[in-house]
A and B are shown apart, each in its own frame.
Chain A
Amino acid sequence: MALDTGRLVTDIRACSQNVAEPQPGACGYTIEVHLSPDQVQECARSMYDHGMYLVFITAVHVSPVPEVLYQFAHFDTPCRVLVRTSVQSDGKLPSIAPVYRGADWHEREIHDFYGIVFEGHPHLKPLIFAREDRKMRPLLKRDELVKERSALWPDETGLTAPESDDAGR
């Protein structure tokens, strides 16, 4: 079951126009997508339809709102997709656990480390931490250490910030 990369890109573009295809070997991923929070589930579903497996989910604490990153890859065709989205201003994000059951643990881990709430997650209880440590949030940086988004990704050519994010900022 090989992956039709062209059709995948078309399907991703149906979710979001903010798609870039970096040089292979330059940064480890071949397709980069920026989504607004409400597009995450739709994008995950189209990833699943193409047979992409979930590599990891993680977050980066940048100002003004943390970013959540998803990486997908394929078993038969070399292709790595990095999906970026910003958390909504209320600190929530739709969960993709209903689509990818494996996202369950990843999202619980991010909730432990960052306090991001994944809406629609079946049971968002602590995964790594014990009950008494569940409010620690160790990966949130101190205020003076948090950097602007633009300090990390200064030259995102051809990419604009997702529209619905602006309302949150």
Chain B
Amino acid sequence: MQAGKKNKPIHYRYFLNMGPQHPSTHGVLRVVIGMYGEYVLSIEPIIGYGHRMHEKMGESRPWQAFLPNTARMDYACALPHQHAYVRAIERMTGVAVPERAEYLRVITTELNRVVSHLLWLGAFLLDLGAFTPILYTFDDREHILDILENVTGSRLTHCYFRAGGVVQDVDDSFEPAVRACIKRMRSRFEMYDKLVTKNIIFIKRTKDIGIIDRDMAVRYGVTGPVLRGSGIAHDIRKAEPYSVYPELDFDVPTGQNGDCYDRYLVRVEEMRQSLRIIEQALERMPGGDVRTKTPKKLNLPPGDVTSTTEGARGDVTYYVAGDGTETPYRLKVRSPCFSNLSLLEELCEDMLLADLIATMGSLDLVIPEVDR
């Protein structure tokens, strides 16, 4: 990093336009970068290409009709969004959830988290120029998606949760399939560890790059693995326990330096912890109903609630205000990527262009979630 590049003659400076169609932006994100040679002077993310006004859709139809929308924002990890939404509705209407349903929610959510982190791992390494890992992670991902497809009916935009439980119980093949999958994943992690974690090229590309400190995290509202990479053990599953997470034993992995490498380590360890959670949940899952009977028409009482879950990218918060009708008067979706992306401007100043790609990759951006 050299100081004083901003004072260099203006004709050495130029603008570089990355996106909206660029493999390293992982979606329709455009980034306008002010450059000096290979150094980034300024950076401006331009979002909104995938904007669909989900919040307006939520406010103009009965609350049940918004359930499929929740899966279409963070498409890589849909279930935490859905969990936050149904919890908000349950909180408002006082609908109880059977215990078996809560366990099913936790198991499917954690499977979804592993799927999302695997997708990130492959794409991140692809950004750094390693093509092979994505072929392996997609293979692993498919095995879990098969299980989720059997349960939820879709491979990507899972719509499985309902206010008062889940839409249907799992069949007998579910548990053996999940157990086999856990066993397989554990052996795969060892392989990834050997291939990636100590790879000298990978370390050189990620160590001490894109350091986020606590103050920056506070100002931008950074959450999720990006925050935990900076050594702050903030996980909604532990901090504000919901569902049956308090009954399950798992660790919250944290990094030390807050750089891209630590964010990688945190996510990889999180996948291991997710497998631990799933194993315990399978052991403890009781029998019984998976859905409380609710009236066909369920009005939302006046007042507002918020509900927060831990998504694969951080703090997913839904704010719902009711007015006594079936349609929410106001529905706000707080997506973690929105906050995590907004710090890019400050984080990437004076960085090499190649490091910018690594940093953006390490933030695990899902652009439809930013645009909503």
Contact = CB atoms under 8 A, between A and B. Distances in A.
B321 A28 contact: no
B265 interface: no
Contacts of B234: 75-76
B39 interface: no
A153 B303 contact: yes
B47 A151 contact: no
Contacts of B329: 60, 147, 152
A138 B53 contact: yes
B24 interface: no
A139 B56 CA distance: 6
A54 B221 contact: yes
Contacts of B321: 60, 152
A102 B219 contact: yes
B371 interface: yes
Contacts of B222: 53
A140 to B, nearest CB: 10
Interface stretch (A7-15, A34-42, A126-134, A157-165): A126-134
Contacts of A128: 47-48, 51, 371
Interface in A28-54: 28-29, 48, 51-54
Interface residues of B, number: 46
Interface in A48-72: 48, 51-56, 58, 60-61, 69, 71
Could you tell me the dominant secondary structure of chain B's interface residues? mixed
Contact of A101 (B53, B220, B302, B303): B220
A69 B319 contact: yes
B48 A129 contact: yes
Interface in A108-165: 113, 126-130, 138-139, 141, 147, 151-154
B269 interface: no
Contact of A147 (B91, B304, B306, B323): B323
- Size bin of chain A's contact surface: 35 or more
B104 interface: no
Nearest to B327: A145
A139 B240 contact: no
A78 B240 contact: yes
B227 A75 contact: yes
A58 B319 contact: yes
Contacts, number: 122
Contacts of B55: 113, 139
B191 to A, nearest CB: 34
A82 interface: yes
Nearest to A24: B240
A152 B304 contact: yes
Given A101-B220, A105-B342, A128-B48, A71 B303 contact: no
A42 B335 CA distance: 26
B330 interface: yes
Contacts of B51: 128-129
Contacts of A152: 302-304, 321-323, 329
A118 to B, nearest CB: 15
Contacts of B342: 101-102, 104-105
Interface of A: 1, 25-29, 48, 51-56, 58, 60-61, 69, 71, 73, 75-76, 78, 80, 82, 100-102, 104-105, 113, 126-130, 138-139, 141, 147, 151-154
30 contacts: A27-B303, A27-B304, A28-B88, A48-B219, A51-B218, A52-B218, A53-B220, A53-B221, A55-B315, A55-B317, A56-B317, A56-B319, A58-B319, A58-B330, A60-B330, A71-B334, A73-B315, A75-B217, A75-B218, A75-B232, A80-B308, A101-B343, A102-B339, A129-B48, A129-B51, A138-B53, A147-B329, A152-B302, A152-B303, A152-B304
Nearest first, the 10 A-B pairs at minimum CB distance are A102-B220, A28-B306, A56-B334, A128-B48, A58-B332, A75-B234, A54-B221, A105-B342, A27-B305, A60-B330
